[in-house]
Structures are given as structure tokens and as C-alpha cells.
Structure 1
Amino acid sequence: MEANFTHVEIFILLGFSHVPQLRLFLIPTFTLMYACTILGNSLIILLIREDHRLHTPMYFFLANLSTMDLLFTAVTVPKMIGDLISREGMISFRSCIAQLFLIIATGASESPLLSIMAVDRYVAICDPLHYKTIMSYKLCFRLASLSWVLGSLYSLINTIPTTKIYFCGPNEINHLFCDIIPLLQLACSDIALNVAFVYISFFFNGICNFFVILSSYVTIITAIMRIKSQEGRRKAFSTCASHLLVVIVYYTTLTGTYLQPMSSYSGSKDKTAAVIYTVVTPVLNPIIYSLRNNDVKKAVKYFFVKGV
């Protein structure tokens, strides 16, 4: 029977077609936020590269996080803006699969990286005397590379089976970009294996990393509460606050999007979540780290006053 299917070669991303009255507002808003994402994350990477005071494991991992945000938004936001301008939203099957791979690869890499950053904070606060010995440059490089490799692996696990699905119509994807769940909803063939891969990936990449972060912060908070000095407790917690806020935003949107039955997928609700983690979060991350971090503030002042 599968031989009789007409395979879809062009998809239509519906995007914000359900709210056409917001089009003229969304175009400049997304453009401005994308520009801020590029400037903010690029500045973070540049500061970390050029300022020797930021050559520490925490900022090395932060540079990787900013790189992931830059790549993730580059894959999604320009296409979203272009679709708003053209009102077409067309994307070929191959381009859709390529976009899907890059979205999952960059997005999934962020989860183990946030987990690694939590472990880094755990070692810094709970074992400060051995911090430099444990978190060596070689280990940091390997850990950061591992997060990229794991993200790419999860992407391959979900993308390759998607290429085997038959899409015979309709070809309208009720989303802003080629994400895995709205794409699977258009399948004409059995997707049981694909759905299993989605939830398996979410469990290992999402839930397992979340518990690593949670256990790290339980130990960190316990150690902070043992510090007798109130100023010492404040300084210790301030080194974790930025990362903790980024984790909360990341996992709130991730859970709301992927930890739900396929049948309960809601276009408008999940589009809102998609806007948060594709447009808003990448803008917030450099702001969160710069506003709450004295080292970054000093690096910014040094960069603009004295130059690189």
C-alpha cells in the first residue's frame, strides 16, 4: 500500500497565519530580538575569548551555551521572519529535514551542557580547594564536546527515522518551523517507533539531565546554608543564580512542548512555547549572565573603555 502514496515534497509552515492582524507587529519585534540575540551572545563569546579573567570553566561553558543559542536561532528565526514577510511559509522536504536535524542537535546539546554547568558549580562550591585540579582545561573541553556529540546523536536518532515516514498529505505543518511533533502528525505511515524515539530521547536527554542538575543544586544549597557568614552565602548563591534561572526557563518550555501526549498537541499553545525558546530565551541568556555577574560587567567596561 505504501507504494501507492504520493510523497509530499513541499510543506507549508502555517506559522502565525491564525493571527494575521499581528503580522506587522511580529516582523519588527522578531527582527529586533534576533539582532539582540546575535549582538548579546556574540559579545559574551568575544568577552570570554579576549578577557583572561574570564578564562575559567564556568565562562568556557557559557561561551558554548551562547554558541548553541546563536546556531539555534539562526536555523529558526530568519525563516520565521521571512515567512511573515512573504506570507507563504513553503519549505521543501529536504530543507525541512535539515532544519529538524539542526534544531534538535543544537537544542538537545543545551540540556547536557546545563547539566555540566551545574556540576561545575557543585565542584566550585562544595570542593573549592580542588576545583582547579578537577575542572582542568582538558576535562572541560571533553565535557563540552560531549554535550555537542550527545545533541547530534539525539538528533540523528529522531531525524533518520523521520526520513523513512511517508507523507501523502495534507502538507500543512501547524507550527513555526519543522519540529518533530507537528511533523509526525502529518504522517501517513506508522509512527510508533518515531514517537518512542521522541520520548526516549526526552527521558535520557531531558529528565536524566534535570535530575543531575537538581541533585547538584540540592547539595549546593545544603553547602551554602552551612556557611556562617551572610555575605559568604550571598556570594556563593550569586554564582549559581544566573545558571539556575536559565535552567528554569529552558526546562519549563521544554517540558511544556514535548512532555505531552501526541493527541493533546495544541498549535497555538505550542507556538507560544516555541516563540519563548526560539526568540525570547536566546535574548535573555546573555542578559541574565551579564546583569547578575560582576566579572562580565567588568569585562564589558574594560572592552568598551580600553578596547580589546
Structure 2
Amino acid sequence: MNTPRIFAVLGNPIKHSLSPRLHTLFGLQTGLQIEYIRQCVEPANFNEHVRQFFANGGRGLNITLPFKEQAYALAGSHISERARAAGSANTLWQENGAIHACNTDGVGLVNDMLRQHVTLRESRILLIGAGGATRGVLPALLQAGCAHLHIVNRTEDKAHALAAQATVPPATQAQVTASAFSALQGNWDIIINATSSSLSGEPLPLPDSVFRADSVAYDMLYTASGDTPFLQQARAAGALHTSDGLGMLVYQGAESFRIWNQIEPDAVPVLAALRTELTESR
């Protein structure tokens, strides 16, 4: 009998993570025998937990809140360009005794948008929030060739600091700006909620004028119904194309799976299966 490849997702809290089911489906699709588990870790034990996981033969780790920056630091110089640009890591593996890190959040978001035929090149993007989720996807959105990316945040200084740190690819010459909500002007092609506002149900202080009928509203969080308070807010303001972040979860997981196993799974049927399972569990 083949020994399964061992993977895990580390976070705190972690019990609601869909990653075990997601990677089980990838394993079934690709014919790999895998075992993927959730592990809740105390912050003080994170580094030792990671080292022990790989010492025991583990093949790969996904990292979620609040450990992405700690995972980035743990890998030292063995970090991918994606992780370096984001300043955080959500995917760890070991090569020649050294822990390596990548960040697949940005490519997950971009690939899910491309699946939905969203035009990123030359688009004007409003990115809501200035925390780790924003930092993780900002480089990929710039790499995709957007024309203008604006970061809006309740704490304006954080938005400006993140905009100042952004590295614009020379070939794109994108404009990166920032403001508080009170100074927000104009309308946008794509509006992305990278905050946790939809968890609390708290409406964002966005004027309806940021949305157009042909705007794309994307919430990086996901729900069983595929709807969130932010997406409801966007539709009420006239946006017709809305999406939650389940596809982003699936595509970032697919990229992690590819890194660990050198096999690229097909995300589309796995996304459909997860959406069906979530809907039936309501």
C-alpha cells in the first residue's frame, strides 16, 4: 500500500477551513494519495511546529491567519518572488533540508477573475483594506497590467504606506494611489473587498458612485450561498457582476498543490463540487 503524502493547513482559528476537502478533491483528480489535516497552532509554537511537521515527513503546509508573515520570516532567504513582493507566505515546503515559501493568494485571485472573463489589463481597480490580504494580492494585480490601483482604508496612513511600498512592473507603469474612505472619488472597473467586513455584516462606507452597472465587485471572503454583505451592497448600488472568494481559495490551493507535487490540477470541477457541497450544507 502506498504511503500517503501528508499536508496540513496551520492557523488560529482553523476549524472552518475548507482546505482539507479542497486538497482531497485535487488528490482524487490527480490520482495522488494524500492526507490533509487542519492544525490549530499557538503563536509561540508556530516555528517549532513547522519544523517538526517537516522533520516527521510532511510534504507541504498552507498557512492562514495569523501566521503568514511569520511563515515568510521562517523561510529566510528561500522565498519566491511572489512571497517577496507580498511580504508574506501562505505555502511552505522543504528542499534539501531548508524550508521554502511562496504566496499563492495573488495568483489565486487573478486566475479566478480570468475564469470569470474579468479584464484586468488597463483596468481601474479599487482595493478595499490595507492589511495582509491586500498585501498578498497587490503584486499580482499590478503584474496583471492594471492601469490604476487605488487602496482605500479606514486608517489612511496604512493605505498610503502600502501604496508607497508597491513595486510597479516597468512594462505596466500602473498608477498606485491611496486615500481614506472620506476622500474616495470616481467610479471603478473592479472593486475588491480585502477586509473582513462581511464577517461582521458591517457595511463599508463606500459611496454608491464607486460602482457602475458594468463594474465587477469581488469579495475575497466566501459564504455557502456565494453572497456576502459587501456583494449585496454592490448590487444595491447597481453593480451587475459580483463574486465571492471561493474561486480564489480554490485557485490558490491549486497553485500550492502544483508547487508541492509538480502536478497542476484542474480547479474548475473542484470549485463546482465545493460550491455544491457548501450550498447543500446550508
What TM-score results when the alignment is normalised by the length of structure 1? 0.27
Q: Which has the higher contact order (CA 8 A, sep 6+)?
A: 1
> Quick check: which one's strand share is greater?
2
What TM-score results when the alignment is normalised by the length of structure 2? 0.29
> Quick check: which one's helix share is greater?
1
